Structure 1
């Protein structure tokens, strides 16, 4: 059995990450009712005998420790974790924090805190890796709009590539809405996108506005009675307490959706099934062009309908495929559905629909950059130069152009693109 390490950076990254740990523990507890430390648990947890201070490799569960590193430059969320129901999953050394935050400034997170905390982060990641028999994947969770998630998050991504170049890097990135209350979020997002394009194997973009819309729609259905009688409210993916603190918070419903995305991606790595898949096969099968590794995710069900059982069926013959990736198909069948569900389906697609999101993000960046608004906050940071903005703008423009080129009927010539080997 292979293992994976989760790296959570920034407030959003840690809140989403802790929803994942809460849900994955519930899932394993539901399946593993005898409390035995098995291969499924070992994929994301160590079994530590606290009396001896050693790792137990089998038998009963003594004390589970998450294979994770938690980073935030504010103490708030990490402090809540140490006081909350998940506190036993993490040792204090796994949590790396500061007090002042990054001030919604990518440069502070990337250059200032990256330099200060580099060795400490590397040390904790190495220690986590040393406890793995077969390290297969890093999952990085962060947001794009703030300073720590975008700046320090992408700094950590580059560290992972430098220290563990052979280990797959899958990044879950939460993108801000156009009405984001962080005025510098377009700067932070575009600067982060350059790093994601260059150093990630796969990126799972999550649109914050889409999360808001999904949660609002399901809550409306439940409250108005439309299909309300058919929805099992206690088993809805967007509901449920736990995670960072015992009382459910407003963003928990949105974070739960992202956590369930990760739950589904990793299910085949954690449980047996009739058709298992290694995590590195995602990039191998879905990313024919290395830079174009932004995968659109679709997850169902987002709520449980009473007395409805949908049998699985093979989808391949019914789906149209883009001409530049006709063989980009991989199926994984896991025998363990999420708790309260009879079935679950996650689809990851690599196509050009992400181009519109990147185009709109670039437009918001250019609107600020044209007026040189707030640039002085970035340029005052050691290591940050104006050239960094120009390079980030060129990078996202090139990415958009490459997606546009794939939509062209002349695409088979594709002289600029290098096929992954």
Structure 2
């Protein structure tokens, strides 16, 4: 059995990570009624009950203290990590795998990347190595961070480069939370563009998630639950509005948004954690969905939306779930993939769904989805037999699609507005190791990425003679 390690960096990364661990434990407890430490649990948890020599019975409901998450938690402020250590998940995290400071990065990528990256380099490497040593067969690192602040963007991307340096053969999948245009961090365009260069250079796959899309989805779910239909309510202990989250205190507005991202991670890791008739190896995601190394941004969509909310509405036909996965309302970035070009697409299905259902829906949808001419069969599919708790099925689609281009163009435009005035630049240039060339290199990298997507869009419907061909992998 392979194992993966989750690396949470910054306030947002640790809040999302906390929701992932909470929901993952809930899933395993639901499936593993006897509380036995098995292969499914070992994929993301290790058993530290010495009386059982690292194995045997482990009550994941009442005796959580015998399980330790395969996680590394990093933040340059103490607040969120301290909350975790005082909350219901406190026993799940190994104190040796935590790294905090007190002063934060001041919403400055350079402070996170240069200052803290240098000061804590050896400590971070040591904690990553320790986490890796606890794995029999390390398959993947999942990095969770945000792009707009200082620690998530700066130190998060520093950790990413250290992962490539120390574990070059291990897959690096990054979940990056992008700020909205109305973000209250004035320097977020600088931080995001500086981080983008690192993501493009050092990640195997990036799953971009936009704050505004999460807000839109949460509002839509609330609208559905208040539609006046009998029984259409969001339960208090649902996965989207959860009264039993890993953080103490009352629910905050962004908790529901964090839960959506946690559900994305639950779905992408489900094949690694549970059995299925078509198990998808995590390494296969990059192998099958990334024909060009730099174009590794995979747009995620989740369906059905009320699965996340536990809204008690009648189950729609299975086919509708597949249709929804390709509609703009279900994307985790504001994009419409059906009007852009697909390089490849993965469908990760959970629950009582047959291979025949999967293939029938691919054949049904294929004519309406514009794939590059040299990769018409560029589908990757996974079937996990264990559905989300309390539901019959769910679907995560990961699309390598040129629809990410407008998001990156918007980011470039916001960066340019600030940079043209040299606004706030001195805060960055005062940081040791930071030079103005870092800005010009970062915007050049982003411009080049946008141009590559633009070039592909321009080839829509035409054959690219020198392009590689991918075959369908199931």
Please give the range of the TM-score, normalised by the shorter of the 2 chains.
over 0.9
TM-score normalized by the length of structure 1: 0.95
For 1:124-273, list aligned pairs within 5 A: 124-225=127-228, 227=229, 229-231=231-233, 233-234=235-236, 236-241=238-243, 242-245=245-248, 247-273=250-276
Cα deviation for residue 391 of structure 1 reads: 0.2
**SS of equivalent to 1:57:** coil
Cα deviation for residue 75 of structure 1 reads: 0.4
Cα deviation for residue 281 of structure 1 reads: 0.5
Distance 1:58 1:404 in 2: 55
TM-score normalized by the length of structure 2: 0.84
Equivalent residue for 2:376, pick from 318, 323, 326: 326
For 1:8-407, list aligned pairs within 5 A: 8-49=8-49, 56-61=54-59, 63-225=66-228, 227=229, 229-231=231-233, 233-234=235-236, 236-241=238-243, 242-245=245-248, 247-303=250-306, 304=310, 305-308=312-315, 310-311=317-318, 312=353, 313-314=357-358, 315-318=361-364, 319=366, 320-323=369-372, 324-407=374-457
Q: Alpha carbons of 1:140 and 1:360: their partners in 2 closer, same or farther (altered >3 Å)?
A: same
Alignment gaps of 5+ in structure 2? 319-352
Cα deviation for residue 236 of structure 1 reads: 4.4
Contact residue 136 and residue 168 of structure 1 kept, 8 A: yes
Contact residue 46 and residue 69 of structure 2 kept, 8 A: yes
Query: RCO (CA 8 Å, sep 6+): is it higher in 1 or 2?
Result: 1
Cα deviation for residue 251 of structure 1 reads: 1.2
Alignment gaps of 5+ in structure 1? none
Q: Alpha carbons of 1:382 and 1:419: their partners in 2 closer, same or farther (altered >3 Å)?
A: farther
Contact residue 85 and residue 244 of structure 1 kept, 8 A: yes
Contact residue 6 and residue 72 of structure 2 kept, 8 A: yes
Query: Per-residue displacement from partner, 1:102-125 (whole Å, max 9, x unpaired)?
Result: 000000000000001111111111
Contact residue 104 and residue 146 of structure 1 kept, 8 A: yes
Cα deviation for residue 268 of structure 1 reads: 0.6
Contact residue 46 and residue 55 of structure 1 kept, 8 A: no
Distance 1:167 1:194 in 2: 20
1:409 aligns with 2:412: no
Q: Alpha carbons of 1:290 and 1:85: their partners in 2 closer, same or farther (altered >3 Å)?
A: same
Question: What is the RMSD of the two structures over their aligned residues, measured on CA atoms?
Answer: 2.0
Distance 1:310 1:3 in 2: 35
Cα deviation for residue 362 of structure 1 reads: 0.1
Distance 1:98 1:39 in 2: 35
Query: Per-residue displacement from partner, 1:259-304 (whole Å, max 9, x unpaired)?
Result: 0000000001100011101001011111101100000111112224
Distance 1:60 1:354 in 2: 44
Contact residue 202 and residue 295 of structure 1 kept, 8 A: yes
Contact residue 375 and residue 469 of structure 2 kept, 8 A: no
Cα deviation for residue 93 of structure 1 reads: 1.7
Contact residue 3 and residue 134 of structure 1 kept, 8 A: yes
Distance 2:45 2:35 in 1: 13
Contact residue 85 and residue 246 of structure 1 kept, 8 A: no
Query: Per-residue displacement from partner, 1:285-344 (whole Å, max 9, x unpaired)?
Result: 111011000001111122244442644422221222421532321111011001111111
Cα deviation for residue 199 of structure 1 reads: 0.4
Contact residue 147 and residue 177 of structure 2 kept, 8 A: yes
Contact residue 7 and residue 138 of structure 1 kept, 8 A: yes
Q: Alpha carbons of 1:228 and 1:124: their partners in 2 closer, same or farther (altered >3 Å)?
A: farther
Cα deviation for residue 240 of structure 1 reads: 1.1
